[in-house]
Amino acid sequence: MSLLFYVVYNVIRVPLFFTAKIVGLFNAKVGETIKGRKGLFASLAGQMAVIPADAPRLWIHASSMGEYEQALPLVNELLERRPNAWVVLTLFSPSVYKHIKATAERTIAIYLPFDSPVNVKRFIRLVKPSVHVIIRHDIWPNYQWRLRRGNIPSILADASISDKRLKSANTFKRLYRQVYYTFSAICAVSDVNAERIKVVFPRPGDIHVCGDTRYDRVRERARDTTRIERLQKSGAFVHRRCLVVGSSWPEDEAVIFPAIAKALQQFEDFSVIIAPHEITTEHLKSIEKFFADNGTSLLRLSRFEKEGDAFFRVLVVDRIGLLANLYALGGIAYVGGAFGVGVHSVLEPAAHGVWVSFGPRHLNSPEAKEMAKTVGAPVATAEEFERFLMKALKDPEYAARQGQLTLDYMRENFGASSKTADVIEKYLS
């Protein structure tokens, strides 16, 4: 990192962190970020004191919930390989920090201090990391510079460069390279992204294609169906005759609900689980009204949990956190978002071997884009969704084959955590 870049960054950019205290008076999320970091170093010192002096310390940084989920299978892989190692997991967003109920054994989770030279020096002295890993792209220059200066290996995992960022990288190549050069190695999610990273990382020999650890995390979650055990045992769902609608928005529902209502009238053993993206009272009531107007029995999950024997054809999920598991109940799925903001995760149903449909705005998701060419069923109109649903219900064997192809696609992408851990271990050794 050049002296000029270091000075400019610390004179102009770093002071903005401290103005966040003022912003926090008016913005709840920023205020929560500031509040969460009070007493951070005292808390960290107390937690670090329990780590044996000779234990390898793996510092892994995950900015928000998505990166945290990607980090988990890598954390588990590294702790399994190194029984004496400890993981210090740093987080930036309060939305993920407050949702972590418990971390793995030999793992410390804490906010990342703001990227000022004083904070950086103090944090690294306390942690004494053997190796540093960033999940995806939450890169902070002062931390990188200090790690490089201290000869502490830093690795960028699950690395990718989007089309938008690639344009920026080409325009400001010299600036990007001053930050990226501090990495000892980069683990790219694909061959395409490995090529893109060469624009900003001057050592192509240290770029490794390891895949995306999200696939491993989705597999872990798919295997754990304990939270839906009561639904599985209820007998209310025939696997290949059940549609799971995940993360739906009103824009999705306007397209898919008419075909669902028609199929419920035509197929007596057909059932539906709807897990809307937003579980506001207004949204839930609008779903209930639609199916009531079409003469279909509907039940909210919260009521099912109280009255397990109530009859229904449509189950509406009125709490969050279950969707990844709920896909296990269906043989077909529709993933919402792609008639509005962009499609949500198609990996979760794919991990259960489900034939997946989604709307036209799916280019925000590389895996949905890839699945649309092969095993997915993208739809652009109500008529197209109706053809998808009727095909699945009239020809369940075909739907089962498509589901198997979807699962095969997932299996081809498993193993990124192991490959990434292989790279990290080279620097631990």
Strands lying side by side in the sheet with 86-91: 107-111, 86-91, 57-62, 131-135, 154-159, 185-188, 207-209
The pLDDT, as a whole number, for residue 278 is: 92
Domain 226-412 has CATH 3.40.630.10: no
For every residue of 98-167, DSSP letters joined together read TT-----TTEEEEEPPPS-HHHHHHHHHHH--SEEEEETT---HHHHHHHHHTT--EEEEEE---HHHHH
pLDDT, tens only, 268-310: 999 999 999 999 999 999 999 999 999 999 999 999 988 767 7
Domains 3-212+415-428 and 226-412 fall in the same CATH topology: yes
Of 77, 154, 123, which Cα lies nearest the Cα of 427? 154
Residues of the chain with pLDDT under 50: 24-25
CATH of domain 3-212+415-428: 3.40.50.11720
- What is the C-alpha R_g of the chain? 24
pLDDT, tens only, 103-128: 668 999 999 999 999 999 999 999 99
The pLDDT, as a whole number, for residue 1 is: 61
pTM here?
A: 0.85
The pLDDT, as a whole number, for residue 27 is: 56
The pLDDT, as a whole number, for residue 33 is: 67
Q: How many helices (H) and strands (E) does the chain have?
A: 22, 14
Name residue 243's beta-bridge partners.
272, 332
The pLDDT, as a whole number, for residue 216 is: 96
The pLDDT, as a whole number, for residue 8 is: 82
* Residue extents of the structural domains in the chain: 3-212+415-428, 226-412
